Structure 1
Amino acid sequence: MRPSNRTNILDAAVRVIERDGITALTFEAVATESGIARGGLLYHFPSRDALLQGIHQHLAGVWEASMIDAAGKPADAAETPERYQAYALTCAQTATRAELQLMFDAAATDENMQPWTEVVERWSPPTPQDLSDPAALDLFIAKLAADGMWVFEALSRSRLAPEVRQAIADRLAQMIAAASKTA
C-alpha cells in the first residue's frame, strides 16, 4: 500500500527536524524534503501548529504500533505485565534526536502532549501512590530506566551496542515480570 501524501509530509517533516532541528521546520523545508508543493502541505496542515500537532499524533501512533508489535496485541487485550514489558522493550529501541526534540516540544502544550500521554497511560506503569508497595515501585523504576535508556540514546553521540541495548531491555522485562508477580 502506498503511503498517503499526509504520511509522506509527516515523515518528511520528521527528517527535517532530525537533520536541522525543530526551529528549521518550515513549510518550505518540508515541501523541499517531501517533493510536495507548499499548497499540498497547506491542504493537509493549514498552519505550522497544525503540522506539529500532526507530527505528534503520527509519531505517538508509530510508537504505539511498536508496542502492539512487541506485545503481539493491542493494549486493551494485553495483560498488565505484557503492556509494561512492551513499553520497556519499545523504549529500548534507538531513539532519534528528532523524537527527543518533539517530546520536549510536546511538553509545552496540552494539545501536543495529549497523543503521547494517551499512549503512556495505556502502556506504562502509573506513578506509584502507595510508597510502601515495593512491587509498584519496582515497576515504576523499570519504566524510568526504559525512559532513561531512550533519552540516553537520543542525547548520546555514541550509541549503545545492539547487544547491550538488548541485554538491558531483557533485564527490564525480567524485572517487570518479577515485580508483576508480587503486585
Structure 2
Amino acid sequence: MPRIELVTGDITAEHVDVIVNAANSSLMGGGGVDGAIHRAGGPTILEECRMLRATTFRAGLPTGEAVATGAGRLAARWIVHTVGPVWPGPGPEADERRLLLAAAYRNSIGVAAGLGAASVAFPAISAGIYGWPADDAAAVALAAAAETAEPPALVRFVLFSARMHDEFRRVAERLGVEVA
C-alpha cells in the first residue's frame, strides 16, 4: 500500500513525478484544474494533447481512461490526464458512474506506475464542476488508492479547499485508510 497524503493547495505547484489532470474528453484544456494545469504548464502540454487527439484518441479520451504527456513548465515530470464522470444524481446510474470514477483513479495510478513514477498527486476528480458529492468522491478516491496492486510509493491528494480536505480526512477515518 502506498503512503497516502492529504494536503490543501495548488496542484500545479506540486513537486512530484506525476500530476493527475482532471481533464475533459477533448484534452484541449478547460476550466478548473484542467485549465490551471494547462496555463501553468505552458503550450507544450496542449501540443502533446493535440497529437494524442490526432492519433490515438480521435474521438476524445473516454471517461475513466488515462494517458500521459510531459509536464511542460511544471515541477512534475509528467501529467496523467483522466476524465472523470459527471454526477448523475442518486440512483442506479450513480453506481455505474462510480465505477468510472474508480477507473479514472486506478488507470491514472497504472499509467503513473508504468512511467516509473514514485509519486503522484491527484485532485478530487469530478468533485468540482462535475458535481460529484465530496464524501462519495473521497470514498472512491481513497479506496482506489489503497486497493491498487502496484501504486507509486506516494499518492498525494491535493485538495482545493479546507472543506474538501476535512471531508477526505473524515472519509479516510471511516474507511480505515491511514493518511498523513
- Structure holding more helix per residue: 1
- Structure holding more strand per residue: 2
Relative CO higher for 1 or 2, CA cutoff 8 Å, sep ≥ 6? 2
- TM-score, length-normalised on structure 2? 0.31
- TM-score, length-normalised on structure 1? 0.31
